[in-house]
């Protein structure tokens, strides 16, 4: 109730503020109270309002958009202390929004050394050689978060290849500790005692040469045998804050002014709150609290956690930092072969799938799922579930529909996270119930070709069916799921919004011989822009504050180096941000 009252007061304030500022759009000398702090003119400003208005000038006062219009009207709002910025014909857009990130993990991911892009086996081996050159002999080299199905060769590096790259170091190629397989070199196998005579807990865990019986280096369930604890964050709060400041600068360089931490831990919430208290945030943050729903936890304990998150959300009263909901996991992922599908995955050596009936993993469902959703809704929070496969998506949508009949669900904007695979029935129910979705277009680019190879083209018909979703009035936003590495274009999940917007229009997966995949699901440029502006603002309950350049909204805006409405489609993905402003203050400028 308190949060709803806050929203109502905010809406009333914006309405009054906008009405007062409307008087500025007249050809008369501005009164002192109407004089802008900053004006932009001689540009092509895409406001992203309901009419998709394009104007040439914009005024900022007290951190908000005071007015938009033509040069003459906006110039009339300038005074002796007004900063005047000539856009020189360049395009301005609202600050972009990413609906799904893990900036806490990303910020610390390259703390001890830079990690290059690895798109092929040669890239992996070059990285191993580089690490061997700086690490003492005998020290472990781990290759993390490099998915074998995203490599050009779509395979694991072999024992011999890793031996040649680092003969004096144990090497483990393990994307994640839970991945179906990992690859090791001879030095690593020797340390683990895995040789021709080794007896494994499960004989199938150790892959062997069919002739010699020697281990090939590929091990399933490798944590049973290798000293792999995964990536461990041992940074202090001060280090976290410093690293996150650097991460925000990179986000600003891509045009991002608002992001959502889709699984914020209590520890990182403290860091974010301190940064906000220090006025150090250069992006707005909407947080989804991490919620442990493992099968051994009682529902009463989970409900207590939800109420605690709701209490914390009520205590936040900042335009830059909000706690809006909770996140849980229903299934696995594409790159690990664990997404829960309606039909079997099919056998796969890459994903270590031998059961012809295997459909993936479903970790949360039925009455337990409904109870968690209802508790979240009654606490006034948004619920989102990690659902990649169409089986998991179908189950979550079913649960939402059931809960909507007995709890105030629609107003909490129940959400699907990822929702790569959908069905026509799911989309209809989403429209009826008011379910939103945060989708990762970059996955279409990175994983589309491999999914066609594994599942067949026909089953990809409703893989990110964006045009159908828009047509049915389902609110969808664009997110990156950025969590590892710092380069916007080559991070494990790229977070350059212009790359993501481009793929929603191009529908051309990487390593797919430049073919399009179901082009009828492509978006227009306007729709692609909406995914990263007004739509994402709605997903994050910020549609009255950000997402478009309208009087009364925060002056979060970017200037770009080309006309994204007129440039070629291929050129669109290469768009660079020249300047980024938060509350009308410059937070990033492109270095020449």
Average pLDDT over the chain, rounded to whole? Answer: 93
The answer to whether 321 touches 273, Cβ cutoff 8 Å, is: yes
**Distance from C-alpha of 177 to C-alpha of 456, rounded to nearest angstrom:** 28
Q: Say what the pLDDT of residue 33 is.
A: 66
The answer to whether 174 touches 145, Cβ cutoff 8 Å, is: no
The answer, yes or no, to whether residue 21 has pLDDT greater than 50, is: no
Q: Say what the pLDDT of residue 31 is.
A: 61
DSSP string over 390-453: HHHHHHHHHHHHHHHTTS--GGG--EEEE--B--HHHHHHHHHHT-EEEE-HHHHHHHHHHHHH
Q: Convert the pLDDT of each residue in 417-438 to its tens digit.
A: 999 999 999 999 999 999 999 9
Q: Say what the pLDDT of residue 32 is.
A: 58
With 0-12 CB in 10 A as exposed, 13-18 as middle and 19+ as buried, what is 401? middle
Confidence of residue 144 (pLDDT cuts 50, 70, 90): confident
User: In this structure, what token pair is assigned to residue 85?
Assistant: 């910025």
Q: What is the C-alpha radius of gyration for the chain, rounded to an integer number of angstroms? A: 25
Q: Which of 490, 485, 496 is nearest to 111 (CA)?
A: 485
Instruction: Tell me the CA distances in angstroms from 468 to 101, 472, 530, one per residue in order.
Output: 25, 6, 15
**Mean pLDDT across 517-545:** 98
With 0-12 CB in 10 A as exposed, 13-18 as middle and 19+ as buried, what is 511? middle
**Mean pLDDT across 447-457:** 95
Q: Convert the pLDDT of each residue in 458-468 to its tens digit.
A: 999 999 999 99
The answer, yes or no, to whether residue 446 has pLDDT greater than 70, is: yes
**Mean pLDDT across 166-176:** 93
Instruction: Tell me the CA distances in angstroms from 264 to 400, 529, 533, one per residue in order.
Output: 23, 26, 22
**Mean pLDDT across 533-555:** 98
**Mean pLDDT across 198-209:** 90
**Mean pLDDT across 314-319:** 92
| Helix, strand, coil percentages, rounded to 5, for the chain | 35, 20, 45
The answer, yes or no, to whether residue 18 has pLDDT greater than 60, is: no
The half-sphere exposure of 585 on its side-chain side, counting CA atoms within 13 A, is 9
Q: Convert the pLDDT of each residue in 76-96 to its tens digit.
A: 999 999 999 999 999 999 999
**Distance from C-alpha of 325 to C-alpha of 3, rounded to nearest angstrom:** 12
Q: Convert the pLDDT of each residue in 385-407 to its tens digit.
A: 999 999 999 999 999 999 999 99
| 476 phi and psi angles, rounded to 5 deg | -125, 145
**Mean pLDDT across 322-329:** 97
The answer, yes or no, to whether residue 143 has pLDDT greater than 80, is: yes
User: In this structure, what token pair is assigned to residue 302?
Assistant: 């989970």
**Distance from C-alpha of 181 to C-alpha of 148, rounded to nearest angstrom:** 10
Q: Say what the pLDDT of residue 15 is.
A: 47
The answer, yes or no, to whether residue 49 has pLDDT greater than 70, is: yes
The contacts of residue 296 (CB under 8 Å, 6+ apart) are none
The residue among 21 and 333 whose pLDDT is bigger is 333
Instruction: Tell me the CA distances in angstroms from 22 to 34, 63, 347, one per residue in order.
Output: 10, 16, 63
The answer, yes or no, to whether residue 26 has pLDDT greater than 50, is: no
**Mean pLDDT across 32-49:** 93
The residue among 317 and 294 whose pLDDT is bigger is 294
**Mean pLDDT across 444-460:** 96
DSSP string over 435-464: -EEEE-HHHHHHHHHHHHHHH-SGGGTTBS
Q: Say what the pLDDT of residue 409 is.
A: 97
**Distance from C-alpha of 41 to C-alpha of 68, rounded to nearest angstrom:** 10
- Sequence-ordered strand ranges (E) for 161-283: 171-173, 181-184, 206-208, 215-220, 256-264
**Distance from C-alpha of 418 to C-alpha of 464, rounded to nearest angstrom:** 9
The answer, yes or no, to whether residue 115 has pLDDT greater than 80, is: yes
**Distance from C-alpha of 33 to C-alpha of 561, rounded to nearest angstrom:** 34
The residue among 352 and 397 whose pLDDT is bigger is 397
DSSP string over 123-138: HHHHHHHHHHHHSPTT
Q: What is the pTM of this model?
A: 0.92
Q: Say what the pLDDT of residue 30 is.
A: 58
The answer to whether 354 touches 207, Cβ cutoff 8 Å, is: no
Share of the chain above pLDDT 70, in %: 94
Q: Convert the pLDDT of each residue in 364-380 to its tens digit.
A: 999 999 999 999 999 99
DSSP string over 48-94: --TT--EESEEEEETTEEEEEE-HHHHHTT--TT-EEEE-TT-EEEE
**Distance from C-alpha of 40 to C-alpha of 46, rounded to nearest angstrom:** 13
Q: Which of 60, 41, 5, 39 is nearest to 550 (CA)?
A: 60
Tally of CB atoms within 10 A around 194:
20
Q: Say what the pLDDT of residue 227 is.
A: 85
The answer, yes or no, to whether residue 4 has pLDDT greater than 80, is: no
The answer to whether 353 touches 318, Cβ cutoff 8 Å, is: no
Pairing verdict, β 577-582 and 557-560: antiparallel
The answer, yes or no, to whether residue 170 has pLDDT greater than 70, is: yes
């Amino acid at each position: 109730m308190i949060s709803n009252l806050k929203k109502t007061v905010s809406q009333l304030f914006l309405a009054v503020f906008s009405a007062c500022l409307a008087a500025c759009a007249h050809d008369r000398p501005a009164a002192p109270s109407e004089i802008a702090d900053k004006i932009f003119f001689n540009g092509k400003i895409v406001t992203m309002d309901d009419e998709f208005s394009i104007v040439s000038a914009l005024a900022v006062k007290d951190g908000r958009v005071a007015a938009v219009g033509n040069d003459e009207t906006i110039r009339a709002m300038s005074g002796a202390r007004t900063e005047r910025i000539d856009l020189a014909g360049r395009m301005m857009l609202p600050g972009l929004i990413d609906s799904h990130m893990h900036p806490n993990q990303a910020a610390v991911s390259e703390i001890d050394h830079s990690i290059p892009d690895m798109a092929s086996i040669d890239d992996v081996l070059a990285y191993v050689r580089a690490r061997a050159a700086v690490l003492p002999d005998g020290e472990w080299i781990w290759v993390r978060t490099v998915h074998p199905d995203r490599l050009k060769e779509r395979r694991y590096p072999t024992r011999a290849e890793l031996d040649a790259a680092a003969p004096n170091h144990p090497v483990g190629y393990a994307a994640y500790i839970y991945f179906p397989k990992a690859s090791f070199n001879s030095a690593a196998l020797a340390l683990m005692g895995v040789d021709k005579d080794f007896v494994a807990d499960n004989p199938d865990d150790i892959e062997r040469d069919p002739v010699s019986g020697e281990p090939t280096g590929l091990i399933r369930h490798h944590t049973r045998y290798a000293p792999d604890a995964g990536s461990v964050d041992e940074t202090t709060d001060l280090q976290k804050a410093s690293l996150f400041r650097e991460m925000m600068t990179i986000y600003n360089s891509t045009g991002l002014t608002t992001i959502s931490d889709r699984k914020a831990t209590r520890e990182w919430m403290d860091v974010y709150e301190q940064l906000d208290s220090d006025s150090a945030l250069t992006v707005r943050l909407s947080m989804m609290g991490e919620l442990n729903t493992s099968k051994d936890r009682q529902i009463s304990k989970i409900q207590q956690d939800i109420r605690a998150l709701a209490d914390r959300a009520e205590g936040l009263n900042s335009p830059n930092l909000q706690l809006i909901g909770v996140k849980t996991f229903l299934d696995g992922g594409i790159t690990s072969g664990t997404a829960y599908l309606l039909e079997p995955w099919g056998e796969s050596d890459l994903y270590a799938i031998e059961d012809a009936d295997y459909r993936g993993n479903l970790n949360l469902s039925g009455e337990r799922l409904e109870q968690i959703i209802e508790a979240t809704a009654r606490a006034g929070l948004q619920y989102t579930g990690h659902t990649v496969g169409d089986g998991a998506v179908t189950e979550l949508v079913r649960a939402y529909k059931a809960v909507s009949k007995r709890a105030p669900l629609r107003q909490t904007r129940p959400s699907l996270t990822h929702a790569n695979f959908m069905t026509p029935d799911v989309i209809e129910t989403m429209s009826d119930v008011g379910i939103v979705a945060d989708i990762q277009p970059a996955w279409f680019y990175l994983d589309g070709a491999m999914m066609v190879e594994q599942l067949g083209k026909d089953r990809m018909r409703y893989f990110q069916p964006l045009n159908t979703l828009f047509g049915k009035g389902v609110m969808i936003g664009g997110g990156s799921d950025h969590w590892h590495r710092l380069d916007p274009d080559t991070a494990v999940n790229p977070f350059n919004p212009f790359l993501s917007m481009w793929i929603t229009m191009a529908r051309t997966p990487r390593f797919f011989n430049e073919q399009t995949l179901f082009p009828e699901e492509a978006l227009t440029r306007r729709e692609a822009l909406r995914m990263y502006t007004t739509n994402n603002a709605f997903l994050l309950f910020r549609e009255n504050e950000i997402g478009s350049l309208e009087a009364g909204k925060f002056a979060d805006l970017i200037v770009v180096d080309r006309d994204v409405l007129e440039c070629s489609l291929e050129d669109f993905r290469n768009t660079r941000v020249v300047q980024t402003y938060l509350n009308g203050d410059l937070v990033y400028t492109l270095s020449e």
